A and B are shown apart, each in its own frame.
With several copies, the nearest count.
Chain A
Amino acid sequence: SAKPLIVGMELAYPPFEMTDTSGKPAGVSVDLATDLAKSLGRPVVIENTSFDGLIPALKTGKVDLVISSMTATPERAKSIDFSDPYLSTGLCLLLKKDSPAKSIADLDRAGVKVAVKKGTTGHLYATNKLKKATVLVLDKESAAVLEVSQGKADAFIYDQMSTYQNWQRNSATTRALLEPFQKEYWAVGIRQGNDELKRQVNAFLKDYRQKGGFEQLGDRYLKEMKDEFKRLGYSFFL
């Protein structure tokens, strides 16, 4: 039989990368990987690796692809290749309930504390664009949310979907500004020089979108959010 397609991901970002209650991999990226492998005629193997291990695994060929909610940036593209984007989202804000801020511009003041998750594009944005505010870099998303809900931080810069969910879970202590102030794209990570696979992945993504595969994935995992976003007037992303 054909060589398995090994896909690395950190199963800690529901509903994209996660496990079901019995511990089996599940989520948007898992289904995407499965469908991709099927179209290539290869069995799929999901390698659950924490973030720090993903890049070396990809670069040393221990995995073929990384599908792990990775945002493509030019800087990252110097180290690994990215496929065409499969998802667009944007950075937005989770604020503490009594924060007067109306936009990201209101936050760039001395004495304001802005939480970001380590290594995210939100972190990158804060480092480059927020000159006066104090940036709190946190290791865990949950800790960042806790900081905002305990009032230790004024805002948390993160992607739209997660911000929406975090707000839903802490609606008593937080509010959300879901309008994105920076657009960004998620893509599949591929080892540099592995152009054959890159071509295959891009072809698959194009075909998958045309066939409505992403629509189905959205309905399967993100129905409620999709509807809510439609109601609020934001474009949806898959």
Chain B
Amino acid sequence: MKQFLVNRDGQVSLAATIVSWGLVALLVCAVFSFAFSELRYGWNWNAIWQYRQKFVQGWLMTVAISAAALLVSLLLGLLTALARRSALLPLRYLSMLYVESVRGTPLLVQILILFYVVANAFGVDNRYLVGVLTLSLFAGAYLSEMIRSGIESIRDSQLESARAIGLTRAQTYRYVIFPQVVRQLVPPLTGQFASIIKDSSLLSIIAVSEFTLNAQEVNAFTYSTLESYLPLAAGYLLLTLPISLASRALERRFHYAT
């Protein structure tokens, strides 16, 4: 029993790790294999295999779009969080309005309005560009609130200390605030990134041929829903797991006693 407990220093033996993971895997497998064995369902995997090419293409598109949206939304989230804390009132209110209206309305509606109304009016016709921007705009609102709450968790005395040694505002963010909040921001940001990747599926509404759309097409062609969607889940996991692993590494890297 004792070896399954982590001591206060957080050290864990390899054997305990393996056995514990084994236990967990056993439990999960038991539930799901029971569930699937109870299922009387005529599996039709052949149909899916024929369409493997579509899965690959869709997956690659999703990778490309999410990567772009990830970067742009992070930038946007950062700027919005800063604007929200800026001393200039209209800038503050603009960022508040942006965050509330984006978080308050469905992505579906935003995509429709931005593509068919706004982009249309401004003569922008590239659906990939508009798609990435809309997705970034959407995720940026969520990211900005996470980043803001991280920034605001820095103690006042730290900020005073930064002012005392003569750091400018920008330097304070760069050398004092961000290094301290990184570790704390990593877990929720990772979650938001996973969301971006999955939310990119809504771009199918403006005919961006991404992963989910392709899986749904295969489903529609073959009427094999579970068979189409299990590879879909696997494909998304393939994308989000590396991000999660990287985030765990980052968390450890930025850990220090306080």
Contacts and interface: CB of A to CB of B under 8 A. Distances in A.
State if A and B touch, Cβ cutoff 8 Å: yes
A12 B205 CA distance: 13
Contacts of B57: 23
B44 interface: yes
Given A52-B219, A123-B220, A142-B225, 12 more contacts: A12-B216, A13-B220, A19-B217, A21-B54, A53-B112, A56-B226, A61-B40, A75-B222, A124-B221, A137-B207, A138-B204, A165-B223
Interface string A56-96: 11011110000000000101101110000000000000000
A48 B207 contact: yes
A215 interface: no
A53 B221 contact: no
Q: Which of B40, B125, B205, B207 has the most CB of A within 10 A?
A: B207
B225 A52 contact: yes
Interface stretch (B8-16, B45-53, B82-90, B180-188): B45-53
Given A55-B225, A56-B225, A139-B213, A14 B220 contact: yes
Interface residues of A, number: 56
B206 interface: yes
A152 interface: yes
Interface residues of B, number: 36
A120 B217 CA distance: 8
Contacts of A8: 207
A115 B219 CA distance: 19
Contacts of A189: 223
B131 to A, nearest CB: 11
A154 interface: no
Contacts of B50: 21
Interface string A88-125: 00000000000000000000000000010011100110
22 contacts: A14-B220, A19-B54, A21-B50, A21-B53, A22-B54, A23-B53, A48-B207, A51-B220, A52-B108, A52-B229, A56-B116, A56-B225, A57-B206, A75-B221, A76-B223, A78-B46, A79-B44, A118-B213, A120-B220, A137-B217, A143-B207, A146-B225
Interface of B: 39-42, 44, 46-47, 50-51, 53-54, 57, 108, 112, 116-117, 120, 125, 204-207, 209, 213-214, 216-217, 219-226, 229
Which 3 residue pairs spanning A and B have beta carbons closest together?
Answer: A119-B220, A136-B207, A53-B205
